[in-house]
C-alpha cells in the first residue's frame, strides 16, 4: 500500500504518538506537515530526518492549537506548499489531573481548546479542501477516555467524549465525498504526556511513582503492557488505505482490553 502523492497534516506531532504518525505516513510515501512545540533544533532534526529517511516533503507549522486563526494558517500553509491536504490527524493534546473542586479554570479552558475545539477548527478548514480533492481521511486521536471516565480528569474526559461526537457528526456530513472520519482511542501509551501526569496523580491519590504506574495506569489495561506509539500509528496507516474506505464514524480502541471491562 502506498500513500505516495498524499499530503498529511498532523497536529501535535513533535513528540509521542504524533511523531509516530508522521513517520508511519511518510514511510508509506506521504508528504507530512508536523506541528507542535519543542526546541527549534530538535524539531528541525525530526523534520529533516523524515525528509532524508523517507524521501518525502516534510514541513513544520508552529501553529498554536488554542488559536483558531493559527489553525487556519496551518491548513493554508499546507495547501499552498503541497497543493492540497488529503489526510488530517487531530492529535495535539494535553492533560491535567485534579479533583473537580480544585480544577483550575484556565486548565479546563486550555484542555477543551487543544483537545477538542482545535479539531473542530482544523476539520472546518480542511473539509472544503478534501471535497475539492475528491478524497480525504480525517483521524482524531481520542482515548479510552472518550468511552469511559477516570476520576480527576474532568476536562480531558469531557474533551475526548466530545471528539468522538464531533467525529461521528463529520463522518455523516462528508460520507458521500470519499472522505472518512474516525477516532483512534489508545489506552496508556508511554509518551511524555503519560510520564508528565505521574507526579500529579501521585499527589491526587497519595501514591508512589511505582504504585501509579502499576496500580493506576496498568491496572486499567488487562494486558498489563503499555501501548506503543507505533501500534497506534499503524492503525492510522490502515485507515488511510482503500481497505478502510467503508470505515467511517468509528472509534477504534487500541487499549489492551481496557474498555472491554
Q: Which of 21, 60, 156, 188 is catalytic?
A: 156
How far is Cα 234 from Cα 132, in angstroms, rounded to an integer? 27
Name residues contacting ligand NAD, limited to 102-131 (CB under 6 A). 114-115
Work out whether 192 is an interface residue with ligand NAD (CB under 6 A).
yes
Secondary structure string (H, E, C) spanning 17-72: HHHHHHHHHHHCCCEEEEECCCCHHHHHHHHHHHHHHHCCCEEEECCCCCCHHHHH
Question: Based on CB atoms, which residue is closest to ligand NAD, 133 or 227?
Answer: 227
Among 111, 188, 204, 236, binds ligand NAD (CB under 6 A): 188
Stretch that binds ligand NAD, among 48-56, 86-94, 205-213, 234-242 (CB under 6 A): 86-94
Q: Using alpha carbons, select from 188, 102, 80, 217 the residue that is nearest to residue 152.
A: 102
Among 43, 58, 64, 174, binds ligand NAD (CB under 6 A): 64
Q: How many residues touch ligand NAD (CB under 6 A)?
A: 29
Stretch that binds ligand NAD, among 29-37, 76-84, 128-136, 243-251 (CB under 6 A): 29-37
Work out whether 85 is an interface residue with ligand NAD (CB under 6 A).
no
How far is Cα 145 from Cα 122, in angstroms, rounded to an integer? 22
Among 6, 10, 12, 87, binds ligand NAD (CB under 6 A): 12
| Residue 141: strand, helix, or coil | strand
Among 7, 8, 9, 18, binds ligand NAD (CB under 6 A): 18
DSSP 222-245: TT-SPBPHHHHHHHHHHHTSGGGT
Residue 122 gets the label, from left (phi > 0), alpha (psi -120 to 50) or beta, of: alpha
Task: Please give the positions annotated as active site.
Answer: 156
Residues that bind ligand NAD (CB under 6 A): 12-18, 35-38, 64-66, 91-94, 114-115, 141, 143, 186, 188-189, 191-194
Amino acid at each position: 500500500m502506498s500513500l505516495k502523492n498524499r499530503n498529511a497534516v498532523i497536529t501535535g506531532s513533535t513528540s509521542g504518538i504524533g511523531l509516530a504518525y508522521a513517520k508511519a505516513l511518510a514511510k508509506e510515501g506521504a508528504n507530512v506537515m508536523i506541528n507542535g512545540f519543542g526546541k527549534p533544533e530538535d524539531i528541525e532534526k525530526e523534520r529533516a530526518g523524515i525528509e532524508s529517511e523517507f524521501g518525502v516533503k516534510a514541513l513544520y507549522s508552529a501553529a498554536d492549537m488554542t488559536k483558531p486563526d493559527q489553525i487556519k494558517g496551518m491548513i493554508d500553509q499546507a495547501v499552498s506548499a503541497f497543493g492540497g491536504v488529503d489526510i488530517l490527524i487531530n492529535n495535539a493534546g494535553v492533560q491535567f489531573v485534579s479533583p473537580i473542586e480544585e480544577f483550575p479554570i484556565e486548565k479546563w479552558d486550555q484542555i477543551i481548546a487543544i483537545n477538542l475545539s482545535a479539531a473542530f477548527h482544523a476539520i472546518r478548514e480542511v473539509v472544503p479542501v478534501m471535497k475539492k480533492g475528491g478524497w480525504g481521511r480525517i483521524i482524531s486521536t481520542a482515548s479510552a477516555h472518550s468511552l469511559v471516565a477516570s476520576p480527576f480528569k474532568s476536562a480531558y474526559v469531557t474533551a475526548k467524549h466530545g471528539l468522538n461526537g464531533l467525529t461521528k457528526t463529520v463522518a455523516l456530513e462528508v460520507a458521500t465525498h470519499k472522505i472518512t472520519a474516525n477516532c483512534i482511542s489508545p489506552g496508556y501509551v508511554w509518551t511524555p504526556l503519560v510520564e508528565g501526569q505521574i507526579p500529579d496523580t501521585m499527589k491526587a491519590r497519595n501514591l508512589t511513582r511505582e504504585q501509579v504506574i502499576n496500580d493506576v495506569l496498568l491496572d486499567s489495561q488487562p494486558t498489563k503492557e503499555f501501548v506503543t506509539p507505533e501500534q497506534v500509528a499503524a492503525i492510522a496507516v490502515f485507515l488511510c488505505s482503500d481497505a478502510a474506505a467503508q470505515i467511517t464514524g468509528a472509534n477504534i480502541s487500541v487499549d489492551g482490553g481496557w474498555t472491554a471491562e
